[in-house]
Structure 1
Amino acid sequence: MKLSIVDLSTVIPGETRHDALMKSIDVAQHIEKLGFHRIWVAEHHGAASIAGRAPEVLIPAIAANTSSIRVGSGSVLLNHYSVFKVAEVFCTLNELYPGRIDLGAGRATTGPITDFALQQDRSKQFRSDSDQQITELVAWLDHSFPDDHPFAKAPIHTIDSHPELYLLGSSAWSASAASQLGLPYVFAGFINQKGTRQIIDSYRSGFKPSAGRTGVKSPEVILSVHVVCADTEEEARRQIAPVHVMYDNLARGIIDAQMPAPDDAVKKLGGLPSLETYMKGSGKPPRFVAGTPDQVHEQLTQLSNDLSVDEIIIQDMMTNHDARLHSYDLLAGVFDFI
């Protein structure tokens, strides 16, 4: 099974956004040596605890400081932007770093203010759907606009270096769009635990092989889950505590709080958080997969087998950088990367 990382550039307490971005580069260099398959960087807007807001900027910084690991977006929020511009940006990245660039596309609302601020035409109501955008993106990359489309005969010669295209999501819409366009599908299991099996199954059952260069001939599913690995179960619980605090804040409508250090998070929670355990056969990932190397290995392997996926992309928002790197060391060891 392949393991990869999606990085949010979490701002560690007492540090700056610059520090967070530099640590993203450090993470990429570290996991490349360990044998992880890819690193993707996320797009978040307006978050005090997350510095990752411009994948197209961070991707080349990471690619320039690594040599072989695949680098991409997880994801670029296509519903906010010009599709042609996104295609040109990622083709440029692939020209700079041939064969290493992934264009992970998705959609999201980012909050009422930032949704409005991201739009060029503010005379129209914001729409969160992106059916037209993902279809157009495929057409740009494949040069497959219908003959009667305004872009079909456009004298454009800049879309000829192809990144690998993936559709990311956590909803029935994303599964349907990926299957109809013949795209690899990345499901965010840390967002929608209950719908994981049903949505992945719907993608596979509705899949139509791609006839273009950007798609695939058979269904490809990657699962994204939140994972923390430590030497002991107690330490894993301590390192997962900051994310529990974050979710507690979000549940109360607090979206601009900094993430705490592990020990401060434990104090806020009134003790170490409990660990969820994956229930064999359920296809429903825990919100957090955490524990010792053997515990994490067992859960991820069973989850991969139950959902028939051969790659897992790990998200984590640990606020102890050394513990985070050690988590990757332990994962690489138990999955026989090293």
Structure 2
Amino acid sequence: MKRIPASRQSADATLGRRDVLRTAGAGLAAGVATVGLAAPAIAQNAPQVRWRLTSSVPKVLDAIFGANELVSKYVSEATEGRFVIQNYAAGEIVPGLQALDAVQNGTVEVAQTPLYYYLGKDPSFACFTTMPFGLNARQQNAWFYHGGGRELQDEFLAKYNLVGFLGGNTGTQMGGWFRREVKELSDFKGLKFRIGGIAGQVVAKLGVVPQQIAPGDIYAALEKGTIDACEWVGPYDDEKLGFVRVAPYYYYPGWWDGGPTMNVVVNRAKWNDLPKAYQAIFEAAVAYANADMLAKYDAYNPAALRRLVAAGAQLKPFPQSFLDAAWAASNELVAEIGAKNAGFKKIMDSLIAFRNEEYLWWQVGEYPYDGYMIRARSRG
């Protein structure tokens, strides 16, 4: 038997992600040159599809917006240019906070947007992005893919003519930028704070005045003093938006964004019109972008944090009194909403039960390991 060189075996055994995606769509064009197959039948199975995607973020936030570019790249390559998705930043087609509406009414086919922006329609939207004191990034993925989260999301979004996917995660976020130092719970009363999602309702219980402002407008509001504080993402993105120049106190942790998902939503009718192979390619591309976004933030945040501190950022932990009050207010709010909204209660019951089981494992495995490694690092 002829021996195959090890290098050849390795090359043959390795299949890049581009090839995996392309393989998913290979059946669309297969057989064009095969004798006996009619070209028109093949053409019907491989239609030309042009979609538009609108995002809720500006292009300068490249770790988030870049996920759209990855999806477009792999979808196009896997279909030999037959399925093309053109990307638009917030404001180019519709304002960032109207991205979901644009998909729902058919203005565009797909959007990249945090679903918690739309809790005014139904607070259940927030559950599929992140909840205060909710799941971290890994747990969010686990709940969606293997803990019943996807089924709950499908059931919920069907009412809005939407299909949803996990399109990325930033990991645990920072608590935000403050123009003045906050040392006690009382310091938060009357504070005008740009904070997204259902967390705004939590801090309102503590006397904070929450503000919902699109990403591109946050800096101007902070600079002018229209708001006293803002939260966005974390060091890598916050550095790009320049918050350190106008609000030097940088607080942590972002207890309302333990593992926030950047959701991808597709018009359900447009989704159903896609060939199954195109659906598979799109979903595979979005899944890759989901993993890639978190990897980017994990890779880029440390150096960005060092640069921000060098530029004058003063790192501060939130006062324990604030964290404890927020925990109590969050649980109270979830119970209040659940008493009025059976769908919300159903989703949160699933999420909370999953969170409790996950932290059983984190307590034994993940946290002791990370805690030791952090201490070891500090000892040099």
TM-score (norm 2): 0.24
TM-score (norm 1): 0.27
More helix as a share of residues = 2
Structure with greater Cα Rg: 2
Which protein has greater RCO, CA pairs closer than 8 Å, 6+ apart?
Answer: 2
